[in-house]
Chain A
Amino acid sequence: AQSVTQLGSHVSVSEGALVLLRCNYSSSVPPYLFWYVQYPNQGLQLLLKYTSAATLVKGINGFEAEFKKSETSFHLTKPSAHMSDAAEYFCAVSRNSGGYQKVTFGTGTKLQVIP
């Protein structure tokens, strides 16, 4: 079984401030972890993924996430928020199931950036 928990359905930050979106996972096997971004009425865009290589993963648009096994966490950060970062962010975990990766999504965190 696998699951992800995203703490905070809404997060507001000021433009230029640190962005921190929290994600904790549960997985019976070493997980693959992902962060996706979704803009209104659009599909998902992959920000970054962890696949058991480096624990600090750098993604697109200046985002990064750190895999901490001891805390079962995979929090997403960005040093300085930009207005264009306003969107919904989903943390996800996947496991191999029948030869493909079955993905389970968190409930999402809506990021608001205040000018």
Chain B
Amino acid sequence: DTAVSQTPKYLVTQMGNDKSIKCEQNLGHDTMYWYKQDSKKFLKIMFSYNNKELIINETVPNRFSPKSPDKAHLNLHINSLELGDSAVYFCASSQDVARTKNTEAFFGQGTRLTVV
């Protein structure tokens, strides 16, 4: 059973397109995240989202938007893709720290996005 699953694993698309990456977690966690790993392997937080609030890293362009149809899903939608958006995107989930001492974050396998 995969705890955090992302689809697709690979995505190649042209500049200017709009695309979505899906993320699902079956852990019953309250909070989900999106991270971006650039070509130098730096992992940076993009969004943190639970049913109470969305926290956005201010460096993330507003072409990126998280969409959560329910607690188990947090999809990443990207408008007007640019070459610089090429990276690996990781979804993660964790339990709300206010409710539990277990603060481990589980990561998905990543989605390699290539914009051409």
Chain A partners chain B = no
